[in-house]
Amino acid sequence: MMRRLALNADGSLQPLTSPPPRPVLPTSEAAPASAGRRFSADDAPFLDDDAWVAPRRSAVSVSSPPAYEPLLPPLTRPTAPPSRTVSYSSAAEPPPEAYLRSMPAPVPAPPAAAAPVAATAPIPRISARSQATPPTRAMEPEAKPSRRDAKAAEAAARAEAKAAQDAEKAAAKQAAQQAKLDARSAKADAKAAKAAQAKPSKSSAVPASRLAVGGSSTNPVTPPTGTGGAKVGGSKAGGAKIAIIVLAAIVAVALIVGAVAWGMGLIPGAAKTPAPPAASDPLVTAADVTPLAAGAWQETPVSANPICLGDAVPKPERTASRKLVDPANDSALQLMNVYPDDAAATQAYDAVAGLVGTCADGAGMVGAASSISGLADAAQAVQIKVQAAKPENHLLVVTRTGRNVNVFDLVTADGPQVTTAAQVATASLNRQCGAGGTCPTTVSVTASLPAPGNPPGWLVPSDLPRITPGAGKWNATDWPTITTPGSQCEGTDLTKVPNTTAAAQRTLILTGDPKAPTSFGIDQVIYTFGDEKAATSLATALTKSIAKCSTQLPTATVVNGPDVRGTGAGGSAVTGGTWEITHKTNTSTFIYRVAVVSSGNRVTYLVATPSKTFDFTDADWTAVALRAGQRATQAG
């Protein structure tokens, strides 16, 4: 068997001062099941005791481990792909510097101690081949990434692209929000902006700091840094994308701010966009109310609703009001209520008409009423007189235009005419009908009745005048049976009138007036018959008996008053008469106001109990009698 030879490091054939390095064999992480551990020779020298040789290994298995301790530490091999894979063309090309930096540096092995060599030992025979320097092992090319690694890399690239896209959207959204904020303050900063253009300030030189795109002293913007060499070396494309996103956001913000500034005229030479026309004012203006009076009308605060409405108006979705006055104390108050739909507005219109027709709060006396056509979907007017020490004459116009219900409360010294009030309302309603409803056209006015009370057919307290201006209030009480004795001139028992289908009584008493006699008031009795002929027969009998009362009762004095003539609901005729009857005795005097009115199949009988110093005027009593007959026609 040949003896193994080796050369010294300097190429001489002198005895070896140190053994040559043992070959490093690759280790297998997973040895095959058939791998054995048999050796054909151990590592002991078989020639001379001072000659070192490497043991021979059998060819049983490539993974058979050596029986000696390796001098060099094992080569560390990565078990997972690096965070960023850098490919290169061939094994001859050196691996990327970033990858080499990521690998742990090899730990140098301590020099092995030289084996002692005897001075008298013969020089061994060695071959030139064994003295040759062992060839350097070529660097193995990096293994190609597996399909799994490729998919992972592709997924990471997609995640990075999505993150970049999300960052771009977030930057654009932030830029848009900041642009809106800057647009709001642009007007207030107009002067400062012009001054800044003439002399740029320090802050204006850095627009990103004002738009919150870049960093600030408290929150500086720092470029993204990697935690390792592989990230720094492999994130150039990602850094470029982030830089592009930030630059695009700054440009977008600059364009938006520039467009806003251009539109607002903050940039010299920029054309200002004309502001949209203001929404039309739906309420009456000073120009609209000039038909009432030619004075200088001015707006004044609204302190209350129109007269007679109180707080009983159905609640609307929206409401608006305006009051105008002139130096002559004329006034125009408008209340506009908007309801969800036409049906709700119609119900509200009927409710408001009922409040106006009865003036339920007792603020005034209900006068004549009118129906207005050609003004809106529905419209009516009612005269209201405030019986104060200084009387006021109101005209209430109630309209419905689509979903809008309007109440115009117009006041002049003598009370405005209905046609004049309609002219005032026309201007406002023309501006409202565009949203729905009937616009004003040719307006016509016809006499009508104010809305009935509840129950219908009876006088309401606001139908009656006060005797003392500014004092007293009328109150109504309904009786289940007839109790009035009358004036004793009727010639019949009023509690037992034959052939009636219904008969009832209401008593109205004046309270709160210190000048009024005790129990001053009015008894109202309504007799209903099966037909108009029977009603007319009763009315005629009562009229004849009252007219002849002075001949039948020596104590009675009868004075005929004005006749009653008018029109009731549905165009029915209202007719009757009024009288003043006085009964004198040796100790006292009694005064009565009497009225008998027929309307259709109903007869209304009225009797009041005034005194010599506290009494209705003939005109007032005739008006009460006419209203009683008209109210009776509203019973249906």
Q: Mean pLDDT for each 10-residue chunk of the chain (636 residues)? A: 50 56 54 48 48 49 52 66 54 48 48 42 41 45 63 79 80 77 66 54 38 39 41 48 71 65 49 48 94 92 93 94 95 97 97 94 92 97 94 96 97 94 96 92 96 95 95 93 94 94 96 91 97 96 95 92 95 96 91 97 97 95 97 92
Specify the residue for token string 């990697």.
226
Amino acid letter for position 366: V
Give me 541's structure tokens. Answer: 């009998």
CA Rg value for the chain? 57
Kindly give the residue spans of alpha helices, DSSP state H, lying in 548-581: 549-552
In angstroms, rounded to a whole number, what is the distance separating the alpha carbons of residues 8 and 443?
132
Phi, psi of 334 (to 5 degrees): -120, 135
Taking the complete model, does pTM exceed 0.75, yes or no? no
Q: What is the DSSP secondary structure assignment for residue 157, as one 8-state letter?
A: H
Of residues 479, 578, 465, 587, the one with CA closest to residue 520: 465
pLDDT of residue 124: 42
Burial of 251 per CB tally in 10 Å (0-12, 13-18, 19+): exposed
Distances (CA, A) of 235 to 85, 104, 239: 11, 22, 6
Domains and CATH numbers, the chain: 1-102+119-132 (no CATH), 154-220+230-264 (no CATH), 303-448 (3.40.1000), 465-633 (3.40.1000)
Of residues 454, 444, 441, 339, the one with CA closest to residue 400: 339
Specify the residue for token string 């700054």.
250
By three-state DSSP, how is residue 503 classified? strand
- What lies within 8 Å, CB to CB, of 494 at 6+ separation is 482, 484, 485, 486, 525, 605
Give me 166's structure tokens. Answer: 């999300």
pLDDT of residue 148: 73
569-596 burial, b at 16+ Cβ within 10 Å, e below that, comes to beebebbbbbbbbbbeeeeeebbbbbbb
Burial of 552 per CB tally in 10 Å (0-12, 13-18, 19+): exposed
Of residues 372, 392, 376, 315, the one with CA closest to residue 348: 315
Burial of 553 per CB tally in 10 Å (0-12, 13-18, 19+): middle
Contact (CB, 8 A) for 164 and 246: no
pLDDT of residue 238: 54
pLDDT of residue 189: 61
pLDDT of residue 361: 81
Of residues 366, 358, 370, 364, the one with CA closest to residue 399: 370
Specify the residue for token string 């005795």.
585
